[in-house]
A and B are shown apart, each in its own frame.
Chain A
């Protein structure tokens, strides 16, 4: 566990972390602009961004405030959307192995992007690098651009015009791509698409992701143990285990 990562794996983790950080961070402009437009004000907007630091929950809270909802409704919605971060924490914690204040810092930057980059790495050491580069990178850039958005509003333009929403989608696709080789992963991916698409019209943002995770749990518990040739699991492997040769192939 304490061996240094092989340089190519570490470099790949840093590259992925930085590109995801930039694409996500620039999106902070929209949150800053929307939050001020919703009447939240510069101080509370920055407090939300720095302290809550979870895009989905932040957008949900200002949405409720902007719609003149109650504080209880705003808190409940934001909290519900933050529930998936508990799952993320449980997934990345064994990879990170940190204690004390570093664990608090790791918890704070446990979000969609840092988890996605961490679990997509072929070895634990690269996962740690990917997690911290992405988590801290998004934290710095997101908060910087939230401030710019809150100060400048729409003057900076719509991040969609730069294709940044598509960039984020493509980043998630690139992260899951090498993990889709096993038959069972393909089955789960198909079910996740169906569950997510079916729920998007009916539930608050953030919930479809939890539902997709629940489907994967059911498949994992119902399916028989993996065959020896199946690279997806082993008694001592990390949650993200998969043969690294396969990963390298896919890069």
Chain B
């Protein structure tokens, strides 16, 4: 790709991505006011977050893998069940994965 084509690609794609974000913000509020939409939105939130856990915890590109992230997530779940604060959950997960990798696994 030439430098000009590369810059054009970067700028056009960035503009398109910004337009998508702004489009969501410009959805009329009246569309979002009904009880049914509220219910759906609450469930969509759960689905998005759970899906992000799966992607961030088990995906390696297009492959599903079990590596140091999985025990780290188990530690995080245990900490959450014991009502640990947010930052502790995150630090415990990072520490678990880092320690396992330092030991040569995952």
Contact = CB atoms under 8 A, between A and B. Distances in A.
A167 B76 CA distance: 9
A115 B49 CA distance: 10
Nearest to A56: B55
Size band of the interface chain A makes with B: 35 or more
Contacts of A217: 40, 43-44
Contacts of B101: 160-161, 163
Contacts of B6: 40-41, 44, 65, 71
Interface size class of B (residues with CB under 8 A): 35 or more
Contacts of A93: 24-27, 29
A191 B51 CA distance: 10
Contacts of A193: 50-51, 54
Given A225-B35, A240-B42, A216 B47 contact: yes
A51 B47 CA distance: 28
B94 A79 contact: no
B10 A162 contact: no
A108 B6 CA distance: 22
A241 B98 contact: no
B23 to A, nearest CB: 5
